[in-house]
Structure 1
Amino acid sequence: MLLRCSRRSHCRVPLLPAIHRITMSSSSSTTPLSSAAVEYHCRTKHSLTAGYARGPGRLDWANQPNPFLRFSPSPVIALPNPPPVASSVHYSALFHSPPPPPQPLSLDSLSDLLFHSLALSAWKSAGASTWSLRVNPSSGNLHPTEAHVLFEHPQEPRRLLLSHYAPRDHLLEIRTTVPSANRPALLPPPATAVLALSSIFWREAWKYGERALRYCNHDVGHALAAVALAAATLGWDARLLDGLSDQDLGRLVGVDKGCPAPPVGMPDKMVKGKAPWVERHHPDCALLLFPAGSEPEVDYARISDALRGFDGLEWVGKPNGLSKDHVVWDVIYRTAEAVKKHHPEPGERFSVSPWRKSAQLSEGLYKELKVQEVVRQRRSAVDMDGMHVMTKEQFYQILLHCLPSGEVSPGERQGTQSALPFRVLPWDAEVHAALFVHRVSGMPKGLYFLVRNEEHFDALRLAMRQEFEWARPEGCPDGLPLYRLSKGNYERLAMQISCLQDIASHGCFSLGMIARFEAVLRDKGEWMYPRLFWETGVLGQVLYLEAHAVGISATGIGCYFDDGVHEVLGLKDLEFQSLYHFTVGAPVLDKRIMSLPAYPGPGIDA
């Protein structure tokens, strides 16, 4: 039996004459109270007529969270700035060639990894305001994601350090030293390091309210992809240690060490006032970094045993406060607690997918840019020009790089995530893309669909509007599972369902990421809820980089009318859900904004 959203909506989306008029209505049945993920997901949907998900209504600038976290006092390791680039791989070659020989772990290589994944990319200034940008994008440029690195100090063998990365100054803060006897369990040979991510929900909730949990998990996905791609330039592979429990991850990042204690009972309503505990970290995930082509023998039980000992270690430093006053959006914390992963799944083990290259149409489709240049020049467009037309070949090439399995042999099907950067995720692809094609030369305007896991094809076709064509576009590469659903001008509709934002219609194309939803939560567990958003973030990072590599830009869109998207596609109930939107096109640059270097030099503060 299909789960249904309890929230009722009665909106009609006004459409262009060439497109079917859509009447939106959600089911009247009740969402099972046992499904916290479903309850949260339905509660935080935006609706054109029923209203937006609960948020602050206005921005409390006096309490805007500090985007930079520091633990003081703690010893620091200054990283080379800028690091010597270990690899000069062209962007397109990274996807189409074997990885370069692996670099040894050193402060240079560790600096290279972080500088090209999680560091600042620029400072911006306009009038009296100055703000920073980062290599990894974030909703609202709020950056809830923090990174922690476990590694053996390359200049002090047998010293295993757990550190926090401080992007403001590009350095590592040593939180604790781990007994060297734990190295074989925590860093099984030939592993290089463990990089863990955590989220501070308050940073996003300050602006977005209840929907912030979605956006924090988008950001985790973007960060995962950023790290995986930066690691690949060093000849390293990256894979989620997804058999660790949330309790294990909490010990790894030290959520209880120096951070404000949570209340004994979770609030059951939104609360305003001083609540420093909302600045606590939520442990998200951990990545194992290791030489490409190898497969470390990971024993999750041994890692968990070693992490239990972290409770007794001496931890250094307390975090700086981020805001004076807070708003506790209770549903965020109750849902995050409910969707935790408490233990490995039966039979779950660490494995590494064979390295697969992505399909390539032509090297000439990309600018002559190194990987490092593309990732550090990536920006989120704030507006599109509404005129630029991209070539059909560029469009197809971008979508080929969105395929999880890379270049497949005849008869193979997309689904296994073995191409960069999707190979960082240990599950088969669950996310597809509904594309609104506006300005692609040689392609009719219309609604298209990219099937990223071909095992889902029959279910998708059955769930969607029966009048859709499902026709292969002219000239579409054989290995690209792209289908035209309907011809027509969808610009106005794309704008309407993306919270009436013109940027969704002014690009070359926009898209909604459609995830298999109900079956994933039912068959695997509610802990997959955040992971579906991680997958959309990984896909979004590819779209960002692909757009910049061909000379245009992109923007992630977290605000859209959820059930409006489903009605356009004919999707009912919760079998499939839209989790993220994106737009790709030529940016309109604001010449009033001055750009400054991210790290101008020793002793110089931009």
Structure 2
Amino acid sequence: MCPISNRDIKAAHDYHTATKHSYWSIRLGSHFLDWEQKPLLFKLYPTLPAIPLPRDITPPAAEALDTISTFQPAGTSALDLTGLAQVLFFCAGLTKKKVYPGGEEHDFRAASCTGALYEVEIYAVCGDLPGLSAGVYHFCPADFALRRLRAGDLRGELTRATAGEKTITSAPVILVLTAIFWRNAWKYQARAYRHFYWNGGTILANLLATAVSAQLTSRVVTGFMDARVDHLLGLDNEREASLCLVPIGAHSPAVEPPEILPIAPETVPLSKRETDYPLITQIRAASMLLNEEEVQAWRSAFAPRPSPPLGDQYFPLYPIEREQRPIRTLGEAILRRGSTRQFAQLPISFQQLSTILERSSRGIPADFLGGPSTTLLDIYLIVNSVENLPTGAFYFSSSQQALELLKEGTFRREAGYLCLEQGLGIEASVVVFFLADLERIIERYGNRGYGAAQLEAGIVGGKMYLCAYALGLGATGTTFYDDDVTQFFSPHAAGKATLFALALGHSARVHGRITRLRPGAD
């Protein structure tokens, strides 16, 4: 059977339409959670020996808001095993354990994830590092260890897969983020494909900030030949797929790799039975890049778009100055982070909101974006309670660093409804909605542009998470009624698709005992 081309863009439109939430789709859906089949939350290789990562790593001490907003650090540091352990822990490690009334325990990781199902896995492809020999490794947060899948310096295979991407060819370590389909689809069915990129994005927000704190260069690379990367990692690509590559560090040229033979290391089954969702495998197959020409075309696809002029009523951002209040370090923000389950319905300051928007919109080093001021996203807000700002619906202009008032009024009830009728939208001080012109994006990028837009939304949302916790606030991602969000913000948002939503505000205390875990704790 011939593979579907990335340019056959009907696939992305069909997937997006088929996975929209609406008032009636929620009520008429027959899905239920089969708790006996809940997937294992860790990928385990029972026959591969563990290589423990150093546990005496130091939390990133840089001021959180600086690391979140820096597009690219100077890149003066060399990477060793301890540095790699720091990056892995603060983007995907186990950070705390909460015991709820009744004795139920839950482990939290450094970055948020829909349903706390953690379907995103991380692999490391590296040359020889101080403390670690060259190879292909899988990272397991459960025991904070690596397991070697292949020996030898195979970074050159990723150079081939990316058609010579410069940051890949010189990085001592390339991290590969993948998604295991069933682990998220168990709860979210075919819509899980969207979640792969949201959850990968929140991990990347932490990863990029941690790299900045350590003075390590990093970049999100989404243009690669999927089959080559999946083959290198030994993935069953009907069940797990590569999302992106992240080269970390520089000045370590890769060598020409040998022939990459197949591997199929034994893994522990996620559950006794898995349900297949063909929409996921179909959109994934339709988004793959098959050869060097398609990778090169992907890399050159970005075209900047003009920013729309602001209306008559707008509010320039007024970010917090550093000396006005103490700001948490990046390590403190990540260790305190946790998706807020209830908001206190207290106002946040306009300075706090300005700081979150300004710092999270300073750009992402990614191959599908043209630079620090470019984006695929349009950001809209429902403001419920912000000091010195009227309640209402707003559009955020990142280029002009201002909020445009679209309509004034009290919209708590509407915010709750749009967030799939959840109280979080009512209680939050602000609900942020990420929209995009999917027609334009898919036309230019092909089906793969759909995942890229979702990934950018996850990264920017992850940055907002970190900013909120750096400022002593709370945040949580939330799902939504797709077309109703667009309708609410129209005519300004007419023709745009909703990608992601995030609620911000003061967290209310929820009963339960929290134990904060040190890096690598059992």
Same fold, judged at TM 0.5 (above)? yes
Corresponding residue to 1:151 among 105, 120, 126: 126
Residue 568 of structure 1: how far off its partner (Å): 1.1
Partner of 1:329: 277
- Asked whether 1:566 is paired with 2:464, we answer no
Deviations 1:252-288 (A, max 9, x none): 32214xxxx85xxxxxxxxxxxxxxxxx311111111
Residue 349 of structure 1: how far off its partner (Å): 5.6
Find the aligned partners of 2:8 and 2:79 in 1 and give their Cα distance. Answer: 48
Deviations 1:162-197 (A, max 9, x none): 000000111111111135794995886642310001
Find the aligned partners of 2:227 and 2:175 in 1 and give their Cα distance. Answer: 16
Partner of 1:393: 351
Residue 383 of structure 1: how far off its partner (Å): 1.1
Residue 243 of structure 1: how far off its partner (Å): 2.9
Query: If you compute each CA radius of gyration, which structure gives the higher value, 1 or 2?
Result: 1
> How many residues were matched structurally?
487
C-alpha contact 1:100 1:233 (8 A) present in aligned 2: no
Q: 1:537-552 residue pairs with structure 2 within 5 A?
A: 537-552=458-473
Deviations 1:439-465 (A, max 9, x none): 11111111110134x5xxxxxxxxxxx
Find the aligned partners of 2:155 and 2:245 in 1 and give their Cα distance. Answer: 21
Partner of 2:36: 62
- Asked whether 1:423 is paired with 2:343, we answer no
Residue 397 of structure 1: how far off its partner (Å): 1.3
- Asked whether 1:241 is paired with 2:161, we answer no
Identity %: 22
Residue 237 of structure 1 aligns to a residue in which SS? coil
C-alpha contact 1:103 1:109 (8 A) present in aligned 2: no
Residue 427 of structure 2 aligns to a residue in which SS? coil
Which structure has the higher relative contact order (CA within 8 Å, separation 6+)? 2
Partner of 1:594: 513
Find the aligned partners of 1:59 and 1:82 in 2 and give their Cα distance. Answer: 39
Q: 1:89 to 1:346 in 2, by over 3 A?
A: closer
Residue 121 of structure 2 aligns to a residue in which SS? strand
Find the aligned partners of 1:555 and 1:581 in 2 and give their Cα distance. Answer: 9
Find the aligned partners of 1:535 and 1:601 in 2 and give their Cα distance. Answer: 29
Partner of 2:496: 576
Corresponding residue to 2:439 among 509, 515, 518: 518
- Asked whether 1:102 is paired with 2:102, we answer no
Q: 1:600 to 1:230 in 2, by over 3 A?
A: closer
Find the aligned partners of 1:377 and 1:58 in 2 and give their Cα distance. Answer: 32
Partner of 1:142: 117
Find the aligned partners of 2:26 and 2:157 in 1 and give their Cα distance. Answer: 49
Find the aligned partners of 1:153 and 1:359 in 2 and give their Cα distance. Answer: 47
Find the aligned partners of 1:601 and 1:345 in 2 and give their Cα distance. Answer: 37
Q: 1:33 to 1:52 in 2, by over 3 A?
A: farther
Residue 551 of structure 1: how far off its partner (Å): 0.9
Find the aligned partners of 2:266 and 2:90 in 1 and give their Cα distance. Answer: 27
Q: Which amino acid aligns with 1:241?
A: V
TM-score by length of 1: 0.74
The structure whose residues are more often helix, as a share, is 2
Partner of 1:506: 427
Find the aligned partners of 2:191 and 2:179 in 1 and give their Cα distance. Answer: 14
C-alpha contact 1:59 1:207 (8 A) present in aligned 2: yes
TM-score by length of 2: 0.85
C-alpha contact 1:198 1:253 (8 A) present in aligned 2: no
Q: Which runs of 5+ in 2 are unaligned?
A: 1-6, 161-166, 302-316
Residue 338 of structure 1: how far off its partner (Å): 1.6
Find the aligned partners of 2:276 and 2:14 in 1 and give their Cα distance. Answer: 18
Q: 1:185 to 1:532 in 2, by over 3 A?
A: closer
Partner of 1:362: 321
Residue 84 of structure 1: how far off its partner (Å): 3.4
Deviations 1:1-43 (A, max 9, x none): xxxxxxxxxxxxxxxxxxxxxxxxxxxxxxx996111111111
Find the aligned partners of 1:597 and 1:431 in 2 and give their Cα distance. Answer: 35
Residue 389 of structure 1 aligns to a residue in which SS? coil
Q: 1:374 to 1:101 in 2, by over 3 A?
A: same
Q: Which runs of 5+ in 1 are unaligned?
A: 1-31, 263-279, 352-357, 407-416, 455-478
Partner of 2:304: none
Q: After TM superposition, which residue ranges in structure 1, 4 or more long, deviate above 3 angstroms?
A: 53-56, 95-102, 179-190, 343-351, 358-361, 364-368, 571-575, 599-602
Q: 1:113-128 residue pairs with structure 2 within 5 A?
A: 113-126=87-100, 127-128=102-103
Residue 485 of structure 1 aligns to a residue in which SS? strand
Residue 76 of structure 1: how far off its partner (Å): 2.5
